[in-house]
Amino acid sequence: MVTYSSYEVLFYLLLYGFLGWALEVSYYSVRNHQFINRGFISLPLHVPCGIAFSLLIQVLPFLGKNYVLQFIGTAMVFAVVQSLSGTFSRWVSRLSQWENENEFAGTRKNWLEMAARAAGALLVYHIVHPVFMTGVSLIPKFLLHVIVWVGMGLLLADFFTMLYVVRFRTVPVSGELAREETQRLADRITGHIWRRLSRAYPGIEKMRGEGEAEGQIVFARGICWDKIIWIFLICALLGDIIETFYCGLVNGQWMNRSSVLYGPFSFVWGIGAVVLTVALRRMADKSDRYIFAGGFLIGGTYEYMCSVFTELVFGTVFWDYSDMPLNIGGRTNVLFCFFWGLLAVVWMKILYPPLSRQIEKIPPLTGKVVTWVIVFLMVCNGLLTSAAMIRYGTRAVRPEANGMVEQFIDSQYDDRYMEKRWPNMIVTDEEQQSRPD
């Protein structure tokens, strides 16, 4: 069972308070098309969210792997915290925008909102929290104590200062001044960022499309970071679905083909689509045979390197073509290289152009926020999957968990879970020799 010290609990309160503040600001900024700081205090902290998560990380381990109980427990924690937050907001109801906003009522809309929050919190707990645990475990205890003392001191000072202003000053005036100061700060930050980008990238104005309104920016124009992220995500999802149905219908084996612990995402397909797009973009207007040849060579090389990487890093092999004719070290074969060539032609000529246009129709602010949320979650998902695979390989040699992170991994992703998640995974000879008979 994972246990936390009082300093670690307070640190997570500050950490998740900041994360909750960032998510709420992003959500309302996207919805209202302007920067909106809805926090009660001046610090970038959403205190109710921090309190809720500091409770969840201590409650959820007692519920085991029962995700239904975890969901119910998470919803109950958020309901209690939100109800207490609503009581506090009524006490300082002179802030009109807070009045009754945080009170939990039994309406259908509020229940759906609570369910969505509980689902999102569970997602963060299982995917993001283990990564945070790894980072916190690397912080020296003395430094952790200093961060907590300073953070909590600033939080309390800020809270009581804002409470004094709200209760004993003319609230409409102070509230209006706070909104004006926040808007001026947002304008200064936006102007500074745009001037810096203009100096660093003189051609940034080309992001504006011809005939578009002044100041309107097209999201993910051309081959850029945002476009690559969306291509990766979409193709990783579609690739996993296609491969699952292919194996189920052709081989009669319905099994998980995902590359990560959470979500139907095949990184091999997602990264492969990105590689083909970047490598073949200059050949998009050429004859199909050139694109086929490029896909044949690039796809075969990519599949071979993926097999080498998983074997060297994780000690496992996820596919083996040794029994197929014209195979190359069992990692790929000529037939699949041929399929890569066909896929490259279909992708560059048929699928990618309309997909690219649809991605560029996403509102710029919404696209930016969602893109970075995707990056954050997928990075955490990938790091957690890597840690679980590495621990799966070392658990036979060292059954006892070393530290809080390995305790969490052993409790959530034991050998039975890993083998059920990836039934086609093969342990290499080196790893197999270290495992008990």
pLDDT in tens, 351-402: 999 999 999 888 887 888 888 888 888 999 988 988 888 888 788 788 888 8
pLDDT at 133 over 80: yes
Give me the mean pLDDT over the 85-93 stretch.
67
Q: Where among 148, 169, 190 does a domain terminate?
A: 169
pLDDT of residue 97: 43
CA–CA gap between residue 186 and residue 7 (Å, rounded): 33
pLDDT at 15 over 90: yes
Residues 148 and 283 in one domain: no
pLDDT in tens, 18-69: 998 888 887 777 776 666 666 667 788 888 899 999 999 888 888 877 888 8
- Most confident of the ranges 5-14, 19-28, 69-78, 405-414: 5-14
pLDDT of residue 11: 94
Q: Label residue 64 left, alpha or beta by phi (over 0 means left) and psi (-120 to 50 means alpha).
A: left
- Most confident of the ranges 76-85, 88-97, 140-149: 140-149
Number of domains within the chain? 2
CA 74, 76, 79, 81 torsion: positive or negative? negative
Amino acid at 145: H
| Structure-model confidence comparison of residues 60 and 318, the more confident one | 60
pLDDT at 84 over 60: yes
Residues 263 and 367 in one domain: yes
Task: Examine residue 407 and state whether it is found in any structural domain, yes or no.
Answer: yes
Residues 6+ apart with CB under 8 A from 135: none
pLDDT of residue 90: 66
Among 100-109, 133-142, 148-157, 422-431, the range scoring the smallest mean pLDDT is 100-109
CA–CA gap between residue 11 and residue 139 (Å, rounded): 11
pLDDT of residue 100: 43
Give me the mean pLDDT over the 331-360 stretch.
87
pLDDT in tens, 163-188: 766 655 544 444 455 555 555 655 66
Strands (E), 287-403: 316-317, 327-328, 332-333
CA distances (Å), origin 39, targets 18, 95, 143, 162, 282: 10, 12, 27, 11, 48
Residues 264 and 396 in one domain: yes
Q: Where among 126, 148, 169 does a domain terminate?
A: 169
Task: Examine residue 246 and state whether it is found in any structural domain, yes or no.
Answer: yes
Q: What is the secondary structure of 116-143 as a DSSP string? A: HHHHHHHHIIIIIHHHHHHHHHTS-HHH
Q: Where among 124, 140, 169 does a domain terminate?
A: 169
Among 41-55, 114-128, 305-319, the range scoring the smallest mean pLDDT is 305-319
Q: Which of 120, 229, 94 is nearest to 172 (CA)?
A: 94
- Residue 120 belongs to domain spanning: 6-169
pLDDT at 194 over 60: no
Task: Examine residue 316 and state whether it is found in any structural domain, yes or no.
Answer: yes
Give the predicted TM-score (pTM) of the model. Answer: 0.67
pLDDT at 431 over 70: no
Task: Examine residue 215 and state whether it is found in any structural domain, yes or no.
Answer: no
